[in-house]
Amino acid sequence: MTSRKDPAEEGEKGTELPAIVLVAGSERRITQIARRSGQTSPPPHVHEMLTKHSRSLCSRQYPTCRQEQHRLGAYKAIATRHKSVIPSFLRGSIGSRSSKSVVDSSLMEPTHARSDPEAGRHLESENAETSIGIPAELSDEDVEKDDEEPKKPLPPWKRHLISIGKFFGILVCLYFFICSLDLLASSFRLLGGRAAGEIFKQDVLQNPVVGVVIGILATVLVQSSSTSTSIVVSMVTSGIMEVRQAIPIIMGANIGTSVTNTVVSFGQVANREEFERAFAGATVHDMFNWLTVIVLLPIELITRYLETLSDLMTKQIHASRDSDIKMLSVLTEPFTERIVQLDPNVLNGWAGIPEYQEYATVNTLLKSCNFEKCGYLFEGAALADSGIGAILLVISLILMIGCLLILVKILNSILQGSIATAVRKYVNSEVPHAPFLAGYIAIAVGAFVTFIVQSSSVFTSTLTPLVGLGVVSLDRMYPLTLGSNIGTTSTAILAALASDSRTLKYALQAAFCHLLFNLSGILLFYVIPFMRFPIPLAKLLGRTTAKYRWFAIFYLIVMFILVPAFVFGLSLAGSYVLMGIGIPLLIVIFVVSLINLIQAKKPHILPPKLQNWDFLPIYLHSFQPYDDMFMRIPCCHKCRKAKEESEKVPEKMPPSSHVEHE
């Protein structure tokens, strides 16, 4: 007989297997498997049920079904509806698409279905995700699982009690997860607060590229774009900095804030597929911010359009100083303030703002109470800010990772089967008759939620594990992140509204530059569908990280620490040194990226030598040598071994081209 393509191979490529699966093989083959599982032969009642079911199915749906199928013992079953008629020694293969299954693919559809396109389409319309096959080898563990009696269903009251417990578990984990992000930001302020303050006082701020780098470094150090932009607004208010100088720093702050959810994605590093999705979901924020800065910074330097538009928006605005709004912090402060309390005025004093000059000589960020104790854990500790910051960093990371792991485990137990399908359907659904509106609704939702929680890091970090679980798609995460970027500008606007009426205009102008920057990025990289470059770039990073786990740490250190520090170091040597080294590097990066794009799309238009990078040493065009080097480290070697065992694909067996006779 002629054989078709192995259905197991088709299953691996993502296509669904037919719902009606022929468990192929002769009576002798099935009897062999039965004896291996401790039975002398298939039980007579099971044999009779399968044969009866097979004949009934043939006569009902396949009138031309060949009689030799019955004679050779090729039994049929509906995968999702008739599991009860499958013998116990075949149940171990239910739900598996392993290519070890011996399937006579010539029997996968009857003769008339192959010749009649309509019949073939009818067969494909009854797809299911479950397949049934006869395993080539049956392990003792599988036999034991098959012999186990099915668990009795829990009574309704117990199921409801478990559901309520899971719901409260999610709320508790979310609460402490958000508290851990607050503590993480406090720890970074203690570790790098003085350095961040000194950075803002540098004379090199006249250089816009240096301004972007300072914005990145300062935001990474204090772990909050809201804090860094508020400091910039205060410096503009006090006259230390002009709006023109503040704009590049605000751009850099937007990049620096995305480091938090990138760190959060490490919580799913154990599962390759989840980590790939989570890392892509986290870095889509990075890619958007980097691309927006790369495009808008030169435009701003040439046209001053952000400065001009923000100036027009603030000419007729007046406001009072009463603008201190607390929302999510009202819930988290009762816990976080029991551990540590910081004085935000000290950070402003270290930044050199005259209004807070009295705090410039204070040696610690820790809040001190004159008349009564503040009542937090580290009050009066005989440690420097760096020591307390290091301890707090460890505590916050342990709390964050613990909450994240528990949260993912609970969500995994809830989001299964029909619930997962329903959640994915509604979260990633489109608006009927106007599918393009769904993304803009997501932007509005992201902006509103971020305004409520007053932190884009909290919102995007909460979404990251959901992207890893596959509940929220990357295409939906992208507009939610853009909305979060808009929502976080409310903090700078509120900080500006709290300024004196004489300097209100300049403070609001700096805050509106932040808003206009994010709106311009949305116009560039979202409104036009084919311009949504951050999505494929994030997917590429996700795939790379899933293959080379160490690349995630490498990316984090290079993009948020080494590159900004390198540019900042060059700027200290002078503008000519910065341009002399920076411009050639940018040209090389642009040319290599362009060649990579052409190699992927139209390699034939390139010279033969440039159609791939094989002419270069392997360490210049592949991560494999570096991966081999990292894998020599004992702990990494064990991780790689476990990964290879978990991802080991069974050797494919070709489909039978002949039928075994009795």
Token pair, residue 329, equals: 């912090």
Mean pLDDT of 313-331: 60
Whole-angstrom CA distances from 90 to 54, 94, 130 are 16, 7, 13
Q: What local confidence, expressed as pLDDT, does residue 327 receive?
A: 55
Closest CA to 54 of 82, 83, 77: 77
Q: Are 190 and 342 in contact (CB under 8 A)?
A: yes
Q: Which residue has the tokens 């971020």?
A: 450
More confident residue, 105 or 646: 646
Question: 97 falls in which pLDDT band (50, 70, 90)?
Answer: very low
Cross-strand partners of 78:
20
Which amino acid belongs to residue 371?
F
Hey, what are 147's tokens?
Answer: 């012999």
pLDDT at 394: 85
Pairing state of beta strands 20-23 and 75-78? antiparallel
Asked if residues 232 and 246 have their Cβ atoms less than 8 Å apart, the reply is: yes
* The two structure tokens encoding residue 386: 């760096």
Residues 20, 113: contact at Cβ < 8 Å?
Answer: no
Indicate whether 498 pLDDT > 80.
no
pTM of the predicted structure, to 2 decimals = 0.61
The secondary element (H helix, E strand) that includes residue 75 is strand 75-78
Instruction: Take residue 126 and report the two structure tokens written for it.
Output: 């009854």
Of 55-69, 220-234, 397-411, 532-546, the range with the lowest mean pLDDT is 55-69
State the amino acid at position 405 in one-letter form: L
Residue 330: exposure state from Cβ atoms within 10 A (0-12, 13-18, ≥19) = exposed
Lowest mean pLDDT among 37-51, 131-145, 286-300: 131-145
Q: Which residue has the higher pLDDT, 455 or 524?
A: 524
Number of other residues whose CB lies within 10 A of the CB of residue 583: 10
Closest CA to 102 of 138, 68, 78: 138
Could you tell me the CA-to-CA distances from 548 to 359, 543, 625, 654 in Å, in that order?
47, 9, 11, 32
Q: How far is CA 489 from CA 61, 239, 348, 427, 512, in A?
A: 62, 21, 19, 25, 8
**183 with 396: CB under 8 angstroms?**
yes
Give the pLDDT score at 391: 86
Taking 80 as the threshold, does the pLDDT of residue 506 lie above it?
no
> CA nearest 453: which of 175, 168, 222?
175
DSSP element (H, E) containing 112:
helix 111-115
Q: Is 566 exposed, middle or buried (0-12, 13-18, 19+ CB in 10 A)?
A: middle
**Which tens digit of pLDDT belongs to each residue from 11-48?**
333 333 333 333 434 445 555 555 555 555 555 555 55
Phi, psi of 366 (to 5 degrees): -65, 135
Judge whether 282 and 265 are in contact, CB under 8 Å.
yes
d(CA 340, CA 388): 9
Q: What proportion of the chain, given as a percentage, has pLDDT over 90?
A: 3
Confidence bin at 479 (pLDDT 50/70/90): very high
- Closest Cα partner for 236 from 99, 100, 354? 354
pLDDT in tens, 215-225: 888 787 776 67
Residue indicated by tokens 């720890």: 187
**What's the rounded mean pLDDT across residues 432-453?**
83
The span from the CA of 640 to the CA of 636, in Å, is 6
C-alpha–C-alpha distance, residues 284 and 278, integer Å:
10
Looking at every residue in the chain, the average pLDDT score rounds to 69
In the DSSP assignment, the letter for residue 110 is -
Q: Radius of gyration (Cα) for the chain, nearest Å?
A: 31
What are the DSSP calls for 357-401, one per residue? GGGTT----B---SSS----TTTT-SS-HHHHHHHHHHHHHHHHH
- Is the pLDDT at 608 greater than 60? The verdict is yes
pLDDT band at residue 125 using 50, 70 and 90 as cut-offs = very low
Output the pLDDT for position 15. Answer: 34
User: Dihedral of CA 235/237/239/242: which sign?
Assistant: positive
The number of beta carbons lying within 10 Å of the beta carbon of residue 568 is: 19
Going by C-alpha positions, the residue among 395, 388, 281, 285 that lies closest to residue 342 is: 388
Please name the residue that has the structure tokens 């860094």. Answer: 228
Q: Looking at residues 589-598, what average pLDDT do you find? A: 86
Distance between alpha carbon 9 and the CA centroid of its chain, in Å?
A: 29
Contact 19, 127 (CB under 8 A): yes
* pLDDT higher than 70, residue 557: yes
pLDDT in tens, 233-281: 767 766 667 788 888 888 888 888 888 888 888 888 888 888 888 899 8
The encoded tokens of residue 95 equal 């739900």
Q: What are residue 127's phi and psi, to 5 degrees? A: -70, 155
Which pLDDT does position 156 carry in this prediction? 78
Higher-pLDDT residue of 492 and 91 is: 492
Q: Which amino acid is at 608?
A: P
DSSP H or E stretch at residue 23? strand 20-23
DSSP 38: T
* pLDDT score of 388 more than 60: yes
Measured in whole angstroms, the distance separating CA 408 from the mean position of its chain's CA atoms is 13
Q: Could you tell me which residue, 525 or 505, shows the higher pLDDT?
A: 525
| Displacement of CA 267 from its chain's centroid (Å) | 10
CA dihedral 475, 298, 301, 237 (to 10 degrees): 30
Going by pLDDT thresholds of 50, 70 and 90, the confidence category of residue 482 is very high
280-297 mean pLDDT: 90
Higher pLDDT, 59 or 466: 466
Residue 593: pLDDT above 60? Answer: yes
Nearest to 259 by CA among 295, 228, 237: 228
State in Å, rounded, how far the first CA of the chain is from the last one: 17
Residue recorded with tokens 């870095």: 283
The residue among 610, 637, 632, 633 whose CA lies nearest residue 621 is 610
**Position 52 pLDDT exceeds 60:** no
The pLDDT score that the predictor gives to residue 523 is 92
Contact indicator for 456, 490 with CB cutoff of 8 Å = no
- pLDDT tens, 162-205? 888 888 888 888 888 778 877 877 777 777 666 666 666 666 66
50 or 299, higher pLDDT: 299
What was the pLDDT predicted at 106? 37
Residue of 658 and 570 predicted with greater confidence: 570
Residue indicated by tokens 């073939």: 120
Distance (Å, whole) CA 235 – CA 33: 79
User: What H or E segment, with its residue span, contains residue 76?
Assistant: strand 75-78
